[in-house]
Amino acid sequence: MSYTYRRTYRGPIEAVILDWAGTTLDFGCVAPAVVFVEVFKRQGMAIDMAEARGPMGAGKRDHIAQITRMDGVRARWNAAHGRDATEADIDAMYADFIPLQLQSLSDYSALIPGTLEAAAEMRRRGIKLGSTSGYDRAMMAVNVADAKRQGFEVDTVFCSTDVRQGRPYPFMALQNVIALGVSTVEACVKVDDTVPGIDEGLNAGMWTIGFSISGNEVGLSLAEWNATPATEQARLRKRAATRLLQSGAHYVVDSIADLIPCLDDIQARITRGERP
Ligand SMILES: [Mg+2]
């Protein structure tokens, strides 16, 4: 044979799979960051916000484990305890994490501006809405209820505790594909504010969109962001966007308020025969 033939998907975007904190609610992804600081404090360990935020996107127990392995934290842990953190230490911190997070989630569950409008437009286009999160089921029940009170609902929710491995593995995203009855991963777009969340979408074979200012990469609440001088906003936006683009995200925009034009562009590329 002198030629081979490649099949390409030319149909509509069928599903958008959204992250929660830093993507649709909790501008700045503040809720988990403050709790990670507190659980380490209870072990006699001070960690700063940058350390607390480093592994964001991972499942929460895995996130705690990853913090203990950061060079600076590991050195301070050894200075305080005379050894590395053990699985039992991580279990103890995760046991502290769960009730603290459940108590504080609703303090940070306001929808990110643009979420309702983007969801309405996707519904109008017949796009199904899936979602994934590093929170567990009980935590997601709080977020889902708070979002519903504000008028935002998705079709499916999968947590890192529902699957064998959380992000960067693609399992949560693929559970959405199955539950939503989507015909191919090439018809899906994964949307997230963190590098592990972009990895999740790429590992699932999907188009990906990263949000720079509303999420963990900038890490400021909406009030703090609005109070930040324009030159500093520009610096923070550029640093966050660079990290997300270098993770391989197909698009990086400020927030969910900028989602729909990205979907238009992806749809045009699919129609031309491009693949994620
Ligand atoms: Mg997030």
CB 22 within 8 A of CB 214: yes
CB-count exposure of residue 234 (10 Å: 0-12, 13-18, 19+): exposed
Compute the chain's Rg from CA coordinates. Answer: 19
11, 88, 236, 239 from 217: Cα distances, Å? 33, 30, 8, 8
52, 133, 159, 167, 253 from 67: Cα distances, Å? 7, 19, 20, 15, 28
CA angle 75–76–82, rounded 5-degree value = 80
The confidence score (pLDDT) of residue 120 equals 98
CB 157 within 8 A of CB 144: yes
Tell me the C-alpha distance between 122 and 129, whole Å.
8
- pLDDT 10s digit of each residue in the chain, 276 long? 899 998 999 999 999 999 999 999 999 999 999 999 999 999 999 999 999 999 999 999 999 999 999 999 999 999 999 999 999 999 999 999 999 999 999 999 999 999 999 999 999 999 999 999 999 999 999 999 999 999 999 999 999 999 999 999 999 999 999 999 999 999 999 999 999 999 999 999 999 999 999 999 999 999 999 999 999 999 999 999 999 999 999 999 999 999 999 999 999 999 999 999
- Is 37 in a helix, a strand, or coil? helix
CB-count exposure of residue 119 (10 Å: 0-12, 13-18, 19+): buried
Determine the topology of domain 31-107 in CATH. DNA polymerase; domain 1 (1.10.150)
- Is 74 in a helix, a strand, or coil? helix
Question: Measured in angstroms, how far is the CA atom of residue 232 from the centroid of ligand 1?
Answer: 22
Q: Model's pTM, two decimal places?
A: 0.95
Question: Measured in angstroms, how far is the CA atom of residue 5 from the centroid of ligand 1?
Answer: 39
Active site residue 96: no
Question: Measured in angstroms, how far is the CA atom of residue 20 from the centroid of ligand 1?
Answer: 5
The confidence score (pLDDT) of residue 88 equals 97
Active site residue 19: yes
The confidence score (pLDDT) of residue 81 equals 93
Question: Measured in angstroms, how far is the CA atom of residue 71 from the centroid of ligand 1?
Answer: 24
Question: Measured in angstroms, how far is the CA atom of residue 221 from the centroid of ligand 1?
Answer: 13
For the chain, the domains span 15-30+109-272, 31-107
Question: Measured in angstroms, how far is the CA atom of residue 145 from the centroid of ligand 1?
Answer: 18
The confidence score (pLDDT) of residue 168 equals 97
Which tokens go with 34? 């403050």
CATH architecture for the domain at 15-30+109-272: 3-Layer(aba) Sandwich (3.40)
CB 217 within 8 A of CB 239: yes
CB 205 within 8 A of CB 185: yes
Tell me the C-alpha distance between 240 and 55, whole Å.
15
Which tokens go with 196? 């592990």
- What end-to-end distance do the CA atoms of the chain give, in Å? 28
11, 22, 160 from 57: Cα distances, Å? 30, 10, 10
Question: Measured in angstroms, how far is the CA atom of residue 183 from the centroid of ligand 1?
Answer: 26
CB 35 within 8 A of CB 100: yes
Question: Measured in angstroms, how far is the CA atom of residue 83 from the centroid of ligand 1?
Answer: 32
Catalytic residue among 26, 41, 48, 60: 60
The confidence score (pLDDT) of residue 1 equals 80
84, 173, 203 from 178: Cα distances, Å? 40, 9, 16
